[in-house]
Amino acid sequence: MLQNSYAHQLLDGLTKDQLYKYIFSELPENKAYYQKSMNQTVNAVMEHLESRDNPFSGASVQMLKSRFSKVFIDDTSYGSSLHEVLDELKELYLNDAVSFHHRKYVAHLNCPILTPALAAEVIISSLNTSMDTWDQSAGGTLIELQLIDWTLNKIGYPVNSDGIFTSGGTQSNMMGLLLARDHFIHKHYNIDPKLDGLPHDASKFRIFCSEVSHFSLKKNAALLGMGQKSIVAVPVNENFQMDVNALTESIEYERSKGNVPIAVVGTAGTTDFSSIDPLTAIAEVAETYKLWFHVDAAYGGGLMLSDKHSHKLDGIELSDSVTIDYHKTFFQPVSSSGFFMRDKTHVDYIKYHADYLNPKEQEEEGLPNMVKKSIQTTRRFDALKLWMTLRMMGRRKLGQYIDDIILLAQQTALMLRERGKFEVLNQPEISAIVFRYNPLPATKTDLCGVNAHIRKAMFNEGKALIASTKVHDQVYLKFTLLNPLTELSDMEEIAGIIEEHGDHYYRNN
Ligand SMILES: Cc1ncc(COP(=O)(O)O)c(C=O)c1O
């Protein structure tokens, strides 16, 4: 009977096996198709690894777009085999993908990733667990909770603290500002922001962070209804760390204008310079003015893995909340990030119950309730990647990777200075170096032009990828070193390529 009804619905010319083999299931033919597909796909990735000498092919937007002119999602087709689709994908994407794993990819905050985490990705996607409730995740939630405890312990938070895996540093920073905002409203206004929305003077709220902090703070402040103006940029010192005297002055100034300071954000690892704000001193100021203290350790969080460098995070334990991106300095695939709070009761600001999902009775029964801590509902089991990484490799190997990239960054900064054609702006506290090609410092030359040209030319050539940024409106180049396999000789080669492009620009302009 069932067979017949399937047969009735089958598309012309397809057998039942052909139609349903794609569904991940315990049926023998589906399992066989799953295994074959995974093998074929891993082989395609292997080919990608083997075929790439450079981090990028240099393909232009026009070139890649033109390849799509013949590719359609066709409503009438029966589809193609995996083999055909992978072949097509090589043309459309794989052959010209930007390789974060390459030793000469030193551009943005993208790390090479670890095989134990990739093995976990297969399980995560295949089982497709969602982490919102116990009845969808079971043991998965216990794995996430163990990693949350492990991280809380490394931060140095007390027993009453808590955390949650998030999609990235932007979301974690949003949670920090959200809790800061609602904590302040609960304390000072006779309203519940969850029910009533924001008080009328929310546009006067002020959040202080350094002038080189991440843009997600501004974006989140806007999304949270406080407006971008709520973010007050505090000047940095010569090491690109928040100037704490300037912080106090800024707070006093904003108060004198009738504005309402609610929070301060310290950055542990700024995106451009990898500088770390003086966390202990900022905590004291936060305490004095009764401000929420959030630490954005999206980049610097990985320092906690290192026996040698973890002290650079001293003071983080005094904060109210912390952002950590495992997909940066813990060598995890995107996405993998965490948000942590000193006081677990603060989660009440974002807690909801839905009868169909996480009824109150379940919590009373003692079942874990992860969705109450998250601003997502359906949520990936990203924690498994870090779990398999730490179980297979141990924390200290990752710590050694951190030590290696910090050493490489220090050696690279020195090497650039010694070559004589570069002006280096910062001594890297972690692994980012901002510099520019400037062989003739005494003469007045178009430094922005030449440095913008260098970055663009290198991207178009693809032999090595570097980033650029602006400091005081001037174009600078940037290395972000996150690959423990990159050696000083690679960095010397990259410096040589930069010089070649710079010299060439000068000869022709
Ligand atoms: C300091 C800092 N905070 C937050 C973020 C945002 O993280 P994500 O890209 O994971 O959202 C970044 C990203 O580079 C960052 O450098």
For helices 488-508 and 447-461, give the axis angle rounded to 10 degrees.
120
267 C-alpha to ligand 1 centroid (Å): 11
Label residue 9 by pLDDT band (50, 70, 90).
low
In a shared domain, residues 336 and 417: no
Ligand 1 pocket test target in 111, 166, 210, 214 with most atoms within 8 Å of CB: 214
Q: For residue 170, report the distance from its CA to the centre of ligand 1, in Å.
A: 6
Cα 482 to its chain centre, rounded Å, is 13
Identify the pLDDT of residue 442: 65
Checking if the pLDDT of 112 tops 90, the result is yes
Mean pLDDT, range 188-210, rounded to an integer: 95
The CA-to-CA distance between both ends of the chain, in Å, stands at 80
- 2 pLDDT exceeds 50? no
Q: How far is the CA of 47 from the centre of ligand 1 (A)?
A: 31
- 277 touches ligand 1 (CB under 6 Å): no
- Give mean pLDDT, residues 138-153: 98
Last residue of a domain, one of 98, 116, 139: 98
* Nearest CA, atom 5, ligand 1: 169
pLDDT in tens, 275-299: 999 999 999 999 999 999 999 999 9
Among 305, 295, 342, residue whose Cα is nearest residue 157: 342
Q: Quote the domain boundaries for residue 176.
A: 147-346
Phi, psi of 263, rounded to the nearest 5 degrees: -155, 160
Same domain, 152 and 227: yes
pLDDT at 6 over 90: no
Pair 72, 178 in one domain? no
Q: Which atom of ligand 1 is nearest to the CA of 269?
A: 1
Residue 441 has what pLDDT? Answer: 72
Q: What percent of the chain has pLDDT over 70?
A: 98
Give yes or no: residues 169 and 246 share one domain: yes
- In this structure, is residue 159 part of a structural domain? yes
Residues 169 and 302 in one domain: yes
Model confidence band, residue 10 (pLDDT cutoffs 50, 70, 90): confident
Q: Answer for the pair 476, 435: CB distance below 8 angstroms, yes or no.
A: yes
Ligand 1 near 404 CB (within 6 A): no
CA distance 103 to 107: 11
Cβ–Cβ < 8 Å for 191, 231: no
The residue type of 445 is T
pLDDT band at 1 (very low <50, low <70, confident <90, very high): very low
Give the residue with greater pLDDT, 93 vs 19.
93
Does one domain contain both 308 and 414?
Answer: no
pLDDT tens-digit series, residues 359-377: 988 888 999 999 999 999 9
Residues 84 and 225 in one domain: no
Question: What mean pLDDT value characterizes the chain?
Answer: 95
pLDDT score for 240: 98
**For residue 70, pLDDT beyond 90:** no
Residues 44-65 pLDDT 10s = 999 999 988 999 999 999 999 9
Of the pLDDT bands very low, low, confident and very high (cuts 50, 70, 90), residue 432 is very high
Q: What was the pLDDT predicted at 54?
A: 96
The answer to whether the CB of 182 is under 6 A from ligand 1 is: no
Return the minimum-mean-pLDDT range out of 145-149, 292-296, 312-316, 352-356: 352-356
For 105, the 3-state DSSP assignment is strand
Cα(171) to ligand 1 centroid in Å equals 9
Instruction: Kindly report each contact of residues 280-288 with a partner whose C-beta sits within 8 Å and lies 24 or more positions away, as own/partner.
Output: 280/314, 280/315, 280/318, 281/244, 281/315, 282/242, 282/244, 282/247, 282/315, 283/315, 283/318, 283/319, 285/244, 285/247, 285/248, 285/251
Cα 342 from Cα 355, distance rounded (Å): 29
Q: How far is CA 480 from the centre of its chain?
A: 14
CA dist 250 and 230 (Å) reads: 12
Number of H helices, E strands in the chain: 19, 11
Same domain, 247 and 341: yes
Identify whether the C-beta of residue 151 lies closer than 8 Å to the C-beta of residue 332: no
Over residues 141-153, the mean pLDDT reads: 98
Pairing of strands 231-234, 422-424: unpaired
CA-nearest residue for atom 6, ligand 1, is 169
Find how far residue 451's CA is from the centre of its chain. Answer: 27
- Asked whether residue 39 is assigned to any structural domain, the reply reads yes
Q: Is the CB of 109 under 6 A from ligand 1?
A: yes
pLDDT of 444: 63
Residue type, position 64, single letter: L
pLDDT at 452 over 90: yes
Q: Are residues 411 and 279 in the same domain?
A: no
Write out pLDDT tens, residues 333-363: 999 999 999 999 999 999 999 999 999 888 8
Of 324, 346, 368, which residue sits at a domain end? Answer: 346
Domain count, the chain: 3
Alpha-carbon distance of 430 to 251, in angstroms, equals: 29
The backbone torsions φ and ψ at residue 96, rounded to the nearest 5 degrees and listed phi first, read -120, 15
CATH number at residue 501: 3.90.1150.10
Which atom of ligand 1 is found nearest the CA of 297?
1
- Cβ atoms of 314 and 156 within 8 Å: the answer is no
Cα 111 to averaged position of ligand 1 atoms, centre (Å): 13
Mean pLDDT, rounded, for 245-252:
98
Please report which helix (H) or strand (E) contains residue 391, including its range.
helix 383-393
Report whether residue 169 contacts ligand 1, using a CB cutoff of 6 Å: yes
C-beta of 168 in contact with ligand 1 (< 6 A): yes
Ligand 1 center to 507 CA (angstroms): 38
In the prediction, which pLDDT does 8 show?
A: 55
Record the tokens describing residue 57, joined without a space.
């092919």
Statement to judge: residues 191 and 281 lie in one domain: yes
